[in-house]
A and B are shown apart, each in its own frame.
Chain A
Amino acid sequence: MIEEKENIVCPFCGCLCDDGVVKVEDNKIVGTRNLCRIGHKKFESAQHGRAESPRIRKNGELVPVTLEEAFDKAAEILVNAERPLFYGWSATCAEATQVGCELTEACRGIIDCTATICHAPSIEAIQDQGAPLSTLGEVMNRADLILYWGCNPMHAHPRHMSRYSVYPRGFFRKRGRKSRTIMVFDPRRTDTAKLADLHVQISPASDHMLVHTFREILNSYDVTHETVAGIPADAIRETMEAMAQHQWCILFFGMGLTQQMGKDRNIDVAIQLMHELNKYIGIRTTLMPMRGHFNVAGANITICSETGYPFAVDFSRGYPRYLPGETSAMDVLYRGEVDAMLNIGANPGTSFSNRALSHMAKIPLINIEPHNQQLLQISDVVFSPAMVGIECEGTAYRMDNVPIKLRKVVEPPENRLPDVVILTEILKRVKELKGKGA
């Protein structure tokens, strides 16, 4: 008999849609309702292609072992390491990250989350400039001007527009889409751009220049060049005038702004633009990064609440230190400084550079990952955990930093423990070994 579980939170992207319906038959997920295609696929394929658990590499082959042996081996690797790196945390729950911070402190290593290769520039810019933020509920009820800059929610966050920003009817925006203006800034004619009222097709890597030109106009300086960032100066003035006709504006930005040349400086100048729109024109303006993984915001928030810094925290001296460029995961891997690594809730196999990966191949690597992924080929200890939000509970943070409780839908397969339990067991053994050494 098919059982329909309602109000299930989708653990895929930063939207964390909480109205999903999952159909379960004999502890098998057979279908979903309400979710987008990505969310549907996440649930549908969750129980396929699972990695065997647990395994240890012996003579170049991953061989199945008991959980106890794998915990001991993982703890031994971490205790013997001089500069261990604990990376990932964005596809697991906040509780696991909490234990991860404690484990990092016990091993005196570095903890970093996937934001380091995604929205870390946004965080750095917010540290420099501050940021006017809001929740998605506020956007739904109030926003009448929505800017999507360097992001493509139609493909990456498919229900973002229908649930939070563009289409829903809000308290002050009773006519839904008709009450709102959508502007998209993107070098490509994406599917989001096709829906927009205005698509500003800027030339690649010139976002900083365009944002700056908006600021010049707001500060009553003249635009002296005929075209800026591939856009005629008149069109830029008209865009600015159109923006000024609105009451409440939100800027959603993505990798297009954070991971191109200038990185945090692009966000820096965008925050300045928001500030000046608030100040000179009186449009209430906020901004929000379009976070990717379902709990990458939670990883930042949890690490920040535990250590005081949002990512790239170095415990090598016993107390937390933070300096992206010196203590961030990519930099220490690039320099070959790491001598052991624990990866959880991330897939560096597809997102790290070749040089970082080739160093990871040389060092002992503990991998906590439910599915068969590229990184298994170079992992030394493999745990296949229960999936957060599908096979066990946990807390995740939405892209507007609102915590949402993830729910359990099906029972995990045999021998699959939650991330929290795996990390707690490793932490227990690390503390025992450290105690013996002292």
Chain B
Amino acid sequence: MEKIFGRSKGLTDVPFSFCPGCTHGIIMRLIAEVLEELDIIEDTIGVSPVGCAGFSQDFFSCDFVGAAHGRAQAVGTGIKRSLPDKIVFTYQGDGDIAAIGTQHAIHTAARGEKITSIMVNNAIFGMTGGQMAPTTLEGMKTSTSPYGRNIGTNGYPIDLPKLVANLEGAVYVASVSVDSPKNINQAKKAIKKAFQVQQAGLGFAFVSVLSTCPTNWGLTPSDSMKWLRENMMPVYELGELKVAEEVKSL
């Protein structure tokens, strides 16, 4: 029988260890497919963060470096500056890149560092058990905002892709979601472009992917998707937020 679907070569045979309904698996698969389609698996070095996204180092079939919490983009910068001909990407959660690693998120973009960063935004700290993240929505209950995120005391959620899009060195910034087949296709297109931008050496490319955390949200996988659509999408605008002139011709 003809095999028409299988594991991407960009992934190892290590089974995903994520909770049921978690979208990390979908997002990693999309990246793996992009690495395979662009034929860059052997030229790519990934950087994993701390948190659930950190398991990426086991699942991708390319070389990987594990960074300290928040530092993936600084580590990626060091790798890229040392090996400018290689492809470097970071795979980070929202807690990692938009809180403890914010300074690197801003300056990696400002320098126009020729790497690709993927942020997986589920509006919560997953690995540590569901604490408030910089992306947690107003009123959203977490273990450190048990009465709901109070803007008066906790401030506002950060829309990192919008922030990064303001910086000259960021030439491609997209905000996508993986809640539906249509959006998954859009997400893959954006991820692919973010790697092509790097291949062409045009500057920093950033893709934010809206994601779920059924375990810490306390919802079923299908309710989580619904919650993402109804609550996160109105706050975190989807689409290509920035496509610099030089990227348009790719």
Genuine A/B complex: no
The chain A residues found within 8 Å of chain B, CB to CB, are: none
